[in-house]
Amino acid sequence: MSRPIAIILSLLVGTLLARVQQETPANPAHWETAIQAFEAADKASPPPTGGIVFIGSSSIVLWKSLATDFPGMPVLNRGFGGSQIPEVTFFVGRIVTPYKPRQVVVYCGGNDINAGRSADDVLHDVQALVRAIHGAQPTTRIAYISIAPNPSRWPQIETVRAANRAVRAWMATDPRLTFIDVFAAMLGADGLPKPDIFVADRLHMNAKGYEIWRAVVGPHLR
């Protein structure tokens, strides 16, 4: 095989592998134990309906100060770490609908991009999540927290920016939807993520990071 043909074949294989990675469906079954734990907790101590449900990936799971950050607000954390948007959508009937929330706050998308999903994929998956929630409760308000600028995933930052722009533009078309931009507040004067708001893995936030989120997200809660 000549070298030019070998190079072309290598590029084609790489392109196909990347496309397969992007089109690989999420695996909801992986999270069944976490969802059952929520249901067991609800059975032991039923949470009130009509509150504010936070859903999404590990940045929601690790927001341990959620209740104290928003005192007097009926907040409920139903995030499960490592999740992608389609997995969250799959479980809407079990982690959102039972609580009949007046508002749902979503943080998810970073893991999707890290798994090879494009900005367009993220937008389409967010749209599917919104349809799933509004299919059961059309008047529920939905707020989407922008994908954060994490230092450990900085090589993906242009895709993150594109996904945030696309979701923001689409959400502006529906008064029930709100885009919450935490991205800018997490950057320093040099345009890079503030180094003192992350734990050692440079992916997840420490208390300083969540203080930024509290200040940015709070005004959007109803």
Give the whole-angstrom CA distance, residue 142 versus residue 103. 6
Q: What are phi and psi of 194, to 5 degrees?
A: -60, 120
SS3 label, residue 9: helix
The residues, any chain, with a CB within 8 Å of residue 97's CB and separated by 6 or more, are 133, 136, 137
pLDDT digits (tens, 9 = 90+) for 30-82: 899 999 999 999 999 999 999 999 999 999 999 999 999 999 999 999 999 99
Give backbone dihedrals phi and psi of 51, rounded to 5 degrees, phi first.
Answer: -100, -150
Per-residue pLDDT, averaged over 190-216, amounts to 98
pLDDT at 199 over 90: yes
Distance (Å) of CA 125 to CA 66, 98, 191, 209: 26, 22, 28, 26
Percent of the chain with pLDDT over 90: 86
CATH class, 27-220 region: alpha beta
Q: What is the Cα–Cα distance from 36 to 43, expressed in whole angstroms?
A: 10
